[in-house]
Structures are given as C-alpha cells and as structure tokens.
Structure 1
Amino acid sequence: MDDARVWTFEQGLWTGDADHYRELVDKDCLMVLPAEPYILGGSAAIEAVAKTPRWTSVDITEGQISRPEEGLIVVAYKAHAEKDGEAGYEAWCTSTYRRLEHDVWRVVQHQQTPPLSLR
C-alpha cells in the first residue's frame, strides 16, 4: 500500500460509517482509547467504536509510516477531528495494519493519546 493510500485508509477509520469501520478492523485488534475501559480487544473494540458517532472531518499531521516487514505497516500521527456542532478532538495516534492477501489490509492495533495539559 503506497503512502497516499495509507493516509486515506486511516482517514476512513475516523470518518467512515460503522460498516466501513467493521470491514477495516481485524477481529483480533487491540485498542487503547482515552475513555473507560481504556483497553479494548477483538469484537468489543470494533463494536465500541462502530457505535460512536463518526467524525465529519479529520486533519492528520506529523505523520510517519514504517514498514518493518512485508505485509506490516505502522503509522504514527497527530489527529484533529471535528463533528458537526461539537468541539474538536485532538490526539497523538498509532495504528498497525497487516495484509491478509493482495490489497486487503486490516487494522490490528490502534491507540489514541490526547495531548497532556500542563497546569
């Protein structure tokens, strides 16, 4: 998967509908999100995120892509997402994709860390 497609894929995870999300996330995915229960795995991760309202837009910056071996892609980036009528959300994120077959990729790991606020 080329870099442009990687970023389109990642944006789709933020803005796509629940069916799109279920299609792209692996049944063995692990997620760490900034809300209880914090760590989600497998179908619980898929359903928890699929049931939340989708973002209407996401701006991905400071992105980096690593391909540590054939069939494995790791991305890291800063996301600023918005929903209609709501305050924006910002987080530092990582995702890991594995290739199942030619041109078929699934997310096996995703993490979001909102910026730390210094008091």
Structure 2
Amino acid sequence: MDDERLWGFEQSLWIEGPDNYEEKVDDQVLMVLPHPPYVYAGREAKEAVKSTPVWDRAELDQRQVSRPQEGLIVIAYRVRAEKEGHNGYEAHCTSVIRRLEHEVWRVVQHQQTPPLAASAEG
C-alpha cells in the first residue's frame, strides 16, 4: 500500500461510519483508547469506536510510516478532528495495519493519546 492510499485508509476511519470499521478493523484488534477501561480487544474494541463521533473533518499530521516487514505497516500521527455541534478532538495515535491478501488490509492495533490538559501539566 503506497503512502497516499495508506493515509486515506487511516483518515477514513475517522470520517466514515461504523460499516467502515467493520470492513477495515480486524476482529482480533487490540486498542488503547482514552476512556475506561482503556484497553480493548476484538469485538469490544470495535464496539467502543462505534460509539465515538463520525467526524466531519480529520487532519492527520506529524505522519510517520514504518514498514518493518512485507505486509505490515506501522504508522504514527497526530489527529485533529472536528464535527459540528461537538468539541474538537486531538490525539497522538499509532496503528498497525497488516495485509491479509492482495489489496486487503486490516487494522490490528490502534492507540490514541490525547494531549495532557494544561492544568495537569502544571
């Protein structure tokens, strides 16, 4: 998967709905999300992201890509997401995407770390 397609794939997980998660997130996925119980696996992880907003816009910057072996891609980035009527969302994220077969890719790991609140930094 080239970089342009890779970043389009990842961005779609922020701006498209639950059917997209079902298609692109592996049934054995592991996730760390910024709300209890924080560590999720499999179906529980997919359900947890289905309860989050489908964002109108998601900007992915500070992009880093690693391809440690054939069929495995590791990415890291910052997301800034917006949706009318909701507070914006920002987080630093990682995802691991693996190829199942030609042109078929699935997210097998995803993590989100929102920035620390200013009051917590002091």
**Normalising to structure 1: TM-score of the pair?**
0.96
Q: Determine if contact 1:73/1:97 at 8 Å carries over to the other structure.
A: yes
CA distance in 2, matches of 1:21, 1:50: 8
Q: Output the CA distance in 1 between the equivalents of 2:13 and 2:86.
A: 19
> Given the alignment of the two structures, is residue 8 of structure 1 paired with residue 3 of structure 2, yes or no?
no
Gaps of 5+ in 1: none
Query: Does the aligned pair in 2 maintain the 1:22–1:50 contact within 8 Å?
Result: no
Structure 2 CA distance for aligned equivalents of residues 115 and 10 of structure 1:
20
- Displacement after TM superposition at 1:51 (Å): 3.1
The total of aligned residue pairs comes to 119
- Paired residue for 2:79? 79
**Cα distance, 1:53 vs structure 2:** 2.5
Q: Over the residues paired in the alignment, what is the CA RMSD in angstroms?
A: 0.9
Q: 1:65: how far off?
A: 0.5
Please give the alpha-carbon distance, in whole angstroms, between the structure 2 residues aligned to 1:4 and 1:79: 16
Aligned residues with identical type, % of pairs:
59
Q: Counterpart of 2:91?
A: 91
- Consecutive unaligned residues in structure 2, runs of 5 or more: none
Aligned match of 1:60: 60
Which amino acid is the alignment partner of residue 57 of structure 2?
S
With normalisation by structure 2, the TM-score equals 0.94
Residue equivalent to 2:113: 113
Tell me which stretches of 4 or more aligned residues in structure 1 moved more than 6 Å. Answer: none
